[in-house]
Amino acid sequence: MRMESLLKKIAQIVLRKKRNKLQDLCIIGLGNPGEKYSKTRHNAGCDFIDLIASELQAEFKLSKKFDAEIADISYKEHQISLIKPKEFINRSGKTLKLLRKFQVDSNDKLLVLHDDMDLEPGEVKLKIGGGHAGHNGLRDISQQIGSDYVRLRFGIGHPPSNADTNAWVIKKPNPEEKMRLKQSFEKALNSLDPLLQKKWMIAMNALHTNEH
């Protein structure tokens, strides 16, 4: 009986340590890997997470466990991971499923940064849950973990009529779009404090105004 009691105590300590390793927030920047896709419309989420890392002086390191580049930071007592999946964007769910299993205990602690054709360049919106609106990365994530995660959406606009959307999103924005996308990044950075603290309503109020 004494041995059984000891084993139970050891198990409780191990479980407690595992729980302590959970993050308060994981921020995932969607995009396609490789220089070929750098700074393209589809990589807006990945580009913005690089800006967050620069702002917080965080350094990414490759994690084979999550098949992603990860930077861990501490912000006002919040333990946060910045993540860039190494898979192509339409397979983003693989990394998110692993994060949901090992890093966070609920989907509202997952903030996904992504491009959105339903928003014009320069627009940035925060959304909790919802559909994928044809975004293959979001579709794959929702199939893997459900749809009730948080999204930060950066507008890239729709392509000209009859244009192939798949070709459109993997091209770089034109100079005017690039300028407007930069404005949306700046606006999101101005709301970084409530975003990092998961104060979603405060962040929404700041982001959804017309001021830049």
Q: Is the pLDDT of residue 134 over 90?
A: no
In angstroms, the CA 113 to CA 83 distance is: 10
CA 124 – CA 212 distance, rounded (Å): 10
Under 8 Å between Cβ of 203 and 191: yes
More confident residue, 144 or 2: 144
Name which of 48-52, 129-133, 161-165, 208-212 the model is least confident about. Answer: 208-212
The alpha carbon of 199 is separated from its chain's Cα centroid by a whole number of angstroms, namely 16
Provide, rounded to the nearest whole percent, the portion of the chain with pLDDT above 70: 88
| Angle between helix 44-55 and helix 175-190 axes, rounded to 10 deg | 50
What's the residue count for the chain?
A: 212
Tell me which residue of 69, 65, 21 sits closest to 46, measured CA to CA: 69
User: pLDDT (tens digit, 9 = 90+) per residue, 8-33?
Assistant: 665 554 444 444 479 999 999 999 99
User: Alpha carbon 148 to chain centroid distance?
Assistant: 13
CATH fold group of domain 24-207: Rossmann fold (3.40.50)
Catalytic status, residue 78: no
User: What is the reported pTM?
Assistant: 0.87
Domain ranges of the chain: 24-207
Query: In this structure, what is the dihedral angle of CA atoms 135, 67, 197, 136, given to the nearest 10 degrees?
Result: 0
Residue 203: closest CA among 211, 212, 194: 194
